[in-house]
Structure 1
Amino acid sequence: MRCDNLSVLFLTRCYKDEPVPNDEHLLHLNGFQNLQILSLGGCRLRGEVPSWIGKLKKLKVLNLSYNQITGTIPKWLGSMPNLLVLNITRNHLTGELPREIGDLKALASDDTDSDLSNLALPFLLDGLQYNRLFNLPRGIKVGNNNLSGNIPAELGNLRLLHELYLNDNDFNGSIPSELSHLVNLEKLDMSGNHLSGEIPESLKKLHFLSYFSVKNNDLEGEIPKGDQFDTFTDTSFEGNPKLYGTLLQRNCHSTTGGGQGEKLPPAPTAEESETLWHTIPFGLGYSVGFFEVSVSLLFRCSRKWFN
């Protein structure tokens, strides 16, 4: 911590089963004041999120993933003025995701000190190589913990967010419609929780969304149609027996037991039929159809000929 000019510190997979450095004397030091990237991932560190990290006002990337960190996510993380990436995936964190995370200034507004071009060195993070910090997707990753409670609606304030991973926790309640304010979001994973209610129709506003998963929850109702939702596969929604829609080949009658058996899905509309048709290459579809008709006619004619 006495390296005053240090900008990047990678200690990933360097330790094993050691306590997180959180000695009281560290709180009184003024080191790491120029640190922008701190990675302590994959060290199996024990303890809680260290308090001295809150003093690193220039920190943009914090990676504490794949450790054995316990306790709760501290509220002071939301007051870090330049934090762009928070990765605490695969720990043993409990409690709720603090609403204060929605106050992260660098993810809410372009008005903060977010000059990322000064770090032009190649580095690895999450198994991927980046040449500049500017290329790093802005994200919050808290998956594979024991977090509970509702998903904070305040996350919708982080309009510059690119990736949001909330998967494999114990979140309950409904999906907040405020997530539709994350207009730059590219990846959203809420799978493996206890979420209920419907998928908000407003999430169709996330036009850059390329990955979406809510599988293994308790969601219900019809899956939104159109826009990015037409690009997702059925695996994004599996494990929710009360969900229905064309994508799952299941209508609302098949999600509840009425003692009369399951009804067949309704015939697709013209628009849906066109969509389904365009998933098959035109030449292949034409050839298969022509072949079936030709064989059928030939078979009928041969029967009449021999009779």
Structure 2
Amino acid sequence: MDAISYERAGDVASALRAAQQPGAVFIGGGTNLLDLMKGGVARPVRLIDITHIDGLDAITALPGGGIRIGALVRNSDAANHALVRESYPLLSQALLAGASAQLRNMATVGGNLLQRTRCGYFYDTAFTQCNKRLPGSGCAALGGHNRMHAILGASPQCIAVNPSDMSVALAALDATVRVSGANGERTIAFADFHRLPADRPDVDTTLLPGELITAVDLPPPLFSAHSHYLKVRDRASYAFALVSVAAALQMDGARVETARIALGGVAPKPWRASAAERMLAGQPLTQSTLRNAAAAALDGARPLRDNGFKVQLAQRAIVRAINEAAGYAGGVA
């Protein structure tokens, strides 16, 4: 058994100092990290407990509109907070679609952003070919069972998908991630926070070594009246998405003024369907418009042997999610 030391940080500054030591990692709720440690995938030598840092467990309104969600806010608390439920229902729905109630009561917002892929070849150390776990070793999923894997944004080095429901909603809502590090504080646009694998699939985010997520900021609410999170999965609870869609609209009657669409379960990071958004903007919601937008969202998809069904599934999910967001549960004319 590996020896692990433990330190409880009292503030951000002390957490950052402790993180400079080799093998040190931050721990909040621990719902993902402890799984990785038990399986031998992660082998930290020092745990920096950040759960007692004041000020990181609150949700507050920002002066210019919008809200700030502290990195230590529990997923369940974020989902049920009045500001989130009323102004950002898309985020609330996505959080409640994730994991189980017990896990949501422990998992933190900051930790959710950092959770690692659930690719079986990554989690099972008996497989020695995994570039995400062992850089340069290959990707067993390419020639293996790849039903759950990516059809967009993957590379020959890695086809694993990002597992977070919350992150799909945050991508659609144009969130900003606030971090602190040795060089001070900085903000990262959510679109730039997660990385595509390219030739470094072992690096999931654009965080610098030793940086700590302190909060997530959401802009002033634009989509409170018309948004919907749809998660398609193999079973109704405690299952990761085959495909998920975060759809948010500004409507003028039956016409879409602005659209935000993000997909989960199909790419190594939350996938913004920018082409579909542009096709919907300024257009009436018709079957033709929706079908064309959904097709555009999957343009460039590269399905594998076992996951070709995801292309049509994602297109249908986009149509359904937009209809739900617009208030047309039975579908547009």
TM-score range, shorter chain: under 0.3
Tell which structure's C-alpha radius of gyration is larger: 1
Q: Which has the higher contact order (CA 8 A, sep 6+)?
A: 2
TM-score (structure 1 length as normaliser):
0.26
